[in-house]
Amino acid sequence: MIRYILVDDNPSVLHSVKTKIEALPKDYDLQHIKSYDSSKKAFEEVNESNYDLLIVDYEMPVYNGLELARKIGKNKKIIFLTSTTDNEKKVINTLDISGYLSKPFDIEEFKYIIKHKIIGKINSSKAYLKPHTITLNIGANKDVRFLTNQVYYISKSLTDNGEQPIKNHVHLYGKNDVVLYANLRITIKDLYEKLADYNFEKIDQSNIINMDYLKERDNMHIRLQDCRESFVVTSKHKPGIVAKLRAILTQN
């Protein structure tokens, strides 16, 4: 179980963040301990033995998020909430930072940080983080089974032989851009819902990538290991994915 404390001087933010977290599946095993709208009160009342994760606003009166984390979170996992990106460099190498989230609170980004930066550090790893066999029911007469770590990316783009997917159909690609399955009748949206808990990320309306094979990011251009294909993150998906990409590329 991951016990968390929320600290933000805006009560509406506290309520919004708590509500979104409570809507997550029980598999995340998160327990809300207490919310504080005063950094001073949090400093005075928080017992460090009673929680595992501090979710804290970066800009607050009396003690800002960084100061509060230094006082009550030296041995805890920390996620900063911030309204600006200017704070990024200040916090990225400070303490044991698990992540920083832009306001408004992005629950998908939060899920990523929990799964890849916190679960396994506090608790034992969950089964849904490991490679898993997925079964897709493709119409009445066809089923497809594959291991999640066999798939490098999913796309509606052309195959090497120029074959264009039919509407609401996708291609699954493996290592070296090999087409594992062509023209599967499933939407990008529906497939992403099945794969999101296995470290896949939707970067636009036509492409999903396996983040385990992330090689490099150049601005919004992404390349995967052992693949010729490159990808561009759209502006719509940019806010939620940049921190995830950076978190992976800066992991030890």
* Judgement on whether residues 136 and 224 belong to the same structural domain of the protein: yes
Final residue in a domain of this structure, among 92, 127, 162: 127
AA identity, residue 179: V
- Strand-strand pairing, 2-7 and 30-36: parallel
Block residue for tokens 């490679």: 131
Q: Is the dihedral angle over the CA atoms 88, 92, 96, 100 positive or is it negative?
A: positive
Is pLDDT above 60 for 196? Answer: yes
* Judgement on whether residues 61 and 140 belong to the same structural domain of the protein: no
The mean pLDDT value for 53-62 works out to: 93
* Judgement on whether residues 46 and 71 belong to the same structural domain of the protein: yes
* Judgement on whether residues 122 and 38 belong to the same structural domain of the protein: yes
pLDDT band at 242 (very low <50, low <70, confident <90, very high): low
Alpha carbon 177 to chain centroid, angstroms: 25
pLDDT at 154: 95
pLDDT band at 90 (very low <50, low <70, confident <90, very high): low
Is pLDDT above 80 for 87? Answer: no
**Total of domains in the chain:** 2
> Which CATH number does the domain housing residue 232 bear?
2.40.50.1020
| DSSP helix/strand/coil, 123 | coil
Burial 66-76 (b: 16+ CB within 10 A, else e): bebbeebbeeb
pLDDT at 128: 41
* Judgement on whether residues 123 and 134 belong to the same structural domain of the protein: no
pLDDT at 252: 44
Q: H or E segment at 110?
A: helix 107-113
The boundaries of the domain holding residue 29 are: 2-127
* Judgement on whether residues 30 and 112 belong to the same structural domain of the protein: yes
SS (H, E, C) 30-91: EEEEEEECCHHHHHHHCCHHHCCEEEEECCCCCCCHHHHHHHHCCCCEEEEEECCCCCHHHH
Is pLDDT above 50 for 215? Answer: yes
* Judgement on whether residues 69 and 15 belong to the same structural domain of the protein: yes
pLDDT at 123: 45
* Judgement on whether residues 12 and 112 belong to the same structural domain of the protein: yes
From residue 46, give the alpha-carbon distance in Å to each of 68, 98, 166: 11, 20, 56
Alpha carbon 139 to chain centroid, angstroms: 31
> What span, in angstroms and rounded, lies between the C-alpha atoms of 213 and 229?
12
First to last CA, the chain: 25
* Judgement on whether residues 115 and 196 belong to the same structural domain of the protein: no
The answer to whether 218 and 242 have CB atoms below 8 angstroms apart is: no
Final residue in a domain of this structure, among 90, 106, 127: 127
Residues 6+ apart with CB under 8 A from 15: none
* Judgement on whether residues 112 and 138 belong to the same structural domain of the protein: no
- Higher-confidence residue: 9 or 182? 9
Residues 6+ apart with CB under 8 A from 118: 2, 53, 77, 98
Is pLDDT above 60 for 94? Answer: no
Is pLDDT above 80 for 86? Answer: no
Final residue in a domain of this structure, among 112, 127, 142: 127
pLDDT at 109: 84
pLDDT band at 126 (very low <50, low <70, confident <90, very high): very low
* Judgement on whether residues 27 and 100 belong to the same structural domain of the protein: yes
The mean pLDDT value for 59-83 works out to: 89
> Which CATH number does the domain housing residue 100 bear?
3.40.50.2300
The mean pLDDT value for 58-73 works out to: 91
pLDDT at 111: 87
**Closest by alpha carbon to 177, among 145, 129, 225, 136?**
225
Is pLDDT above 80 for 179? Answer: yes
pLDDT at 201: 85
* Judgement on whether residues 28 and 113 belong to the same structural domain of the protein: yes
